[in-house]
Every structure is written in C-alpha cells, then in structure tokens.
C-alpha cells in the first residue's frame, strides 16, 4: 500500500476513489486498520465517550489526544494520521499553535478543528507554519450544548447556504480536508462538488469523497446509543479483520452509507 499524503488524498478526490477513515486510539487497532487498507486514521476526541465513559467530548485534553496519537503512530508508522484538537484548545490562533505542537511531535500528519468563520485566522496561521488542517462542519460535537443535542444541521435553505459559504472559506484559509457530520445528503453533494479539497462524510450520505466512522460504532461495541449513520460490521461478518475489510470495500464501492444511514 502506497504511503498516504495530502497530495494522494487530493488525487483520490480527482479520480473519484473513495477515501476510508476510522478513528483509532491504540497501536494494535491502528496496525490492524492500516493492514486492512484504511486510508486515514483519526485520533478523535470521541475517545472521551468511547474510552473514558463521558457523556460528551468536552472533558478531553490535549494531553489525552497526544498520548493516543503516540500510540497510533507506533502501531501504524506509515499511516496518515489526523489528531483532533479538543474543546477550547484553539480559542485563539496563539493557543492553537501551542496546542498543535505536542500533537505534531507525537506523530500527527494533520490536525482537525471544529467550526466555521471564527477559525479562519487560526487555519491561516497554522498552515503558514507548516501544520496541515482538517475542518469540521455540520454537527460539531464540541458545540453540542449550543445545538441542544446531537441534531442534523443544515436543514433549511439559509442554513445550507451558510454552511456552503463556510466550507469555501475554510478551504480558502488553507484547510486541506473537510469533515461533514450529520447533514442532508443534497447539501453534502453541493459542498463536495464545490470544493477542491477532499470532503469526508459521517452521516452525510455516500456523495462525499470518503467516509469516517468511530471504530466502536463500526464494531457495535459502543455503550448506549448507536447513531443512525453507523453500521455494525462485526455483526455482519463475525470477525474484526473481516469487519474492517467489509467497511473499506463498501465505502469504496459506495454501498455504504446507504439511504438508511443518511439524512435527506
């Protein structure tokens, strides 16, 4: 498997080769995912819920993400690794630059930030200093208390137009990747077609340039709520390696996500 870089991801978008991404938090699973052909590994602040047992992602710290980034990098030395910047660790460009330093030193290839227009100076500052950035729009879990819960975003014409404008602004500021979470499929199509950079969906239909899932959801072992946009591949295959291979295959062939995993 060829080494994945931002240039490779860009070429995959141009060639309509779907990008596969999974969250990873330790060396063993990172190694397994890389061996099964997962293109990108994300150290998500979802670890606050699936590993630490919190009800949301807000308690996660930069130190937590740094620790798990080191673990993932050790297990998958050639993988393309994205590390989440946790809640309130990038309130200003200066704070963001301090926060990304241990993540990049731990082995991240890129960092991910949630939000729109307020992030533009931060994204510009990071990219100017050699830190690749992934944006995140739609349902941004760090803003769950503002949204009043985990709700689909961009449902009105005005909200959809605003999100498209924000996506373009993030790209123009220097973002090289974008995650769209829990938005209607037609809006995901509009944004994906409008951007030069790859767009990764989670609960955004199969029209984006790739897909990401939380590994615990994919394996059906998350405690409590399993989101509509996920699929239990372990129940389908009965074996972890086969589950990951099935996920990669179904994303590449656009079988997953189906309409039952999407919002229209």
Instruction: Report the 3 state secondary structure along 223-248.
Output: CCCCCCCCCCHHHHHCCHHHHHHHHH
Candidates 211, 222, 192, 215; CA nearest to 262 is: 211
SS3 state of residue 5: coil
Q: How far apart are CA 95 and CA 154, in angstroms?
A: 29
pTM of the full structure: 0.95
pLDDT tens-place string over residues 71-92: 999 999 999 999 999 999 999 9
Residues for the chain: how many in total?
Answer: 264
> In 10 A of CB 171, how many CB atoms?
20
46 marked ligand binding residue: yes
Tokens standing for residue 202: 């989670």
56 marked ligand binding residue: no
Q: Is the pLDDT of residue 147 over 80?
A: no
223 marked ligand binding residue: no
Q: Is the pLDDT of residue 163 over 80?
A: yes
> In 10 A of CB 13, how many CB atoms?
20
Tell which CATH classification among 3.20.20.60, 3.30.70.2860, 3.30.420.40, 3.40.50.2000 matches the domain 6-261. 3.20.20.60
Q: Domains of the chain: which residue ranges? A: 6-261
117 marked ligand binding residue: no
Residues with a known catalytic role: 181
Candidates 37, 56, 34, 22; CA nearest to 231 is: 22
Candidates 66, 145, 72; CA nearest to 111 is: 66
pLDDT tens-place string over residues 217-233: 999 998 767 788 999 99
């Amino acid at each position: 498997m060829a080494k994945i870089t931002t240039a490779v991801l860009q070429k995959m978008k141009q060639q309509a080769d779907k990008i596969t991404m999974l969250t990873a938090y330790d060396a063993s699973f990172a190694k397994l995912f890389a061996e099964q052909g997962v293109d990108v590994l994300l150290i998500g602040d979802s670890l606050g819920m699936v590993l630490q047992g919190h009800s949301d992602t807000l308690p996660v710290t930069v130190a937590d993400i740094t620790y798990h980034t080191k673990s993932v990098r050790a297990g998958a030395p050639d993988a393309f690794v994205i590390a989440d910047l946790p809640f309130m660790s990038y309130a200003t460009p200066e704070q963001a630059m301090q926060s990304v330093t241990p993540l990049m030193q731990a082995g991240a290839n890129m960092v991910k930030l949630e939000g729109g227009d307020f992030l533009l100076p931060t994204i510009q500052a990071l990219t100017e200093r050699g830190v690749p950035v992934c944006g995140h729009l739609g349902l941004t879990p760090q803003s769950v208390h503002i949204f009043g819960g985990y709700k689909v975003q961009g449902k009105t014409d005005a909200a959809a137009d605003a999100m498209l404008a924000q996506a373009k602004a993030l790209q123009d500021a220097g973002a090289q990747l974008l995650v769209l979470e829990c938005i209607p499929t037609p809006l995901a199509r509009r944004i994906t077609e409008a951007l030069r950079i790859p767009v990764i969906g989670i609960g955004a239909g199969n029209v984006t340039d790739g897909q990401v899932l939380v590994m615990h959801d994919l394996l059906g072992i998350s405690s409590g709520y399993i989101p509509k946009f996920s699929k239990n591949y372990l129940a389908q295959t009965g074996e972890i390696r086969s589950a990951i291979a099935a996920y990669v295959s179904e994303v590449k062939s656009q079988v997953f996500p189906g309409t039952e995993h999407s919002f229209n």
